[in-house]
Each structure stands twice: as structure tokens, then as C-alpha cells.
Structure 1
Amino acid sequence: MKLVFIVINKTELLEEVLEYMVEVGVTGGTVFDSVGMGKILVYDIPIFAAFKELMIGSKASNKTVMTTVPDDLLDDFIEGIDKILHFDEPGSGVLFAIDIYKSRGLSKVE
């Protein structure tokens, strides 16, 4: 089992990501609002204010999805999310998966 984080910069794609997850059987997860470190540095810390022009066109916030994915589904799952978010395009978002060593409260996967 893997813990997958999907940071979605194009927040209008959140619904499509969630629909895809349900279609492939990944039905649990948490979605939260998030802000990139660059935004905080540029807008909240005066010494970095000169970099504001580099941030033009980017959104102030994004959505992060945290979910668990069975090992045997992981590669196909990531490929499907990539088809929606297009990770090769700058500013689209990021996805990473990590092993779950121990857990409590997760449903057992057959």
C-alpha cells in the first residue's frame, strides 16, 4: 500500500481527478487547500518581494489530495492522473507516493 500525494495547481481539474479516482476504485482520501512555499516567500516576506513578477499568472493556492493506493494499482493510477494533470507541463502540479510502514484505521484491501 502506498500513500499518494497529488498537488493540483490547476484547481479546476480537481473534480476530474476525484472522478477518475472513484472510477478506478480509489474511493477514500483527503482534499485540502494548500499554498506553495514560493507564494508565501514572495507575498508574505518582504525581502523576496522582488520575485513577484516571476509569480505572475500563477494561482495563490492549490489543492492537495492525499489517498492510499494498493501497490498493484499504483503505476496505472499514476499514469491516469498524469493524463489529467499533464505533469510534464510546468506549473501543473506534482505527485509522489511513499510506502506505508504501519497504519491504523485504513480498510483492508483484498
Structure 2
Amino acid sequence: MQLLVAVINQESRIDGVLAGFVELGITGATILESRGMGRMLRRELPLFAGLESLGQTTRAHNQTILCVLDDAKADAAIRMIQDVCGDLAAPGVGIVFTVPVGRVVGLAPELER
């Protein structure tokens, strides 16, 4: 089992990512509205207001997707996210990572361990 975390910087891409999850058989995810550190430093802390370079890749809001999935689906989910959102190596697109999950309670029986 893996916890997939995807921070998507373009809110308009979320529907495409969720549709891709359904196509892959991934039926559960949590979406959180989030803000990046650059935005917080530039907008919320006056000390850093002059750091314009931080604002070049930050968005007003990001969407963070949390999803517990089978190991076998993790690579396909990451490829799909890149297909929908673009090259994650490019500045300002987003980030995706997975973390191993040792125990799950409260999901569909086939996912619980």
C-alpha cells in the first residue's frame, strides 16, 4: 500500500486527475485546498515581500490530493497525473510522491490491512 500525495498547482487540472483515477480503478481520494511556502512568505510575511522570485512559480491556491492505493497502481497514477498536468519537473506544475503505508483502517475491505 502507498499513500500518494499530489500537490497540483493548476486547479483546472483536478477534474482530469480525478477522472484518471476512476479510469485506473482508484475510487477514493481526499482533496485539500493548500498554499505553498513561497506564497505564504511573499503575501503573509512582510519581511519577505521583496522576494519577487518566489512569486514566479507560486499560485494563489494549490490542490493537494491524498490517496491510499495498491502498490501496483502507484506508477500508473503518477504517469496519469503527469499526462494531465504536464511535466512535473517544470517549475510551478506540482509535485507527486508516495509513502509506504503500514496499516489502513476504514477503507474498502480489499484495501484494509
TM-score scaled to structure 2, two decimals? 0.88
SS at match of 1:50: coil
The yes-or-no answer on 1:107 pairing with 2:108 is: yes
Distance 1:55 1:22 in 2: 34
Instruction: Give the paired residue count.
Output: 110
Shift of 1:45: 0.7
Aligned partners of 2:33 and 2:63 also within 8 Å: yes
Tell me which amino acid in the other structure corresponds to 1:75: D
Shift of 1:68: 1.2
- Gapped regions of structure 1 (runs ≥ 5): none
Q: Which has the higher contact order (CA 8 A, sep 6+)?
A: 1
Identity of aligned residues (%): 32
- Gapped regions of structure 2 (runs ≥ 5): none
Aligned match of 1:37: 37
Distance 1:95 1:33 in 2: 16
Shift of 1:10: 1.0
Distance 1:94 1:57 in 2: 13
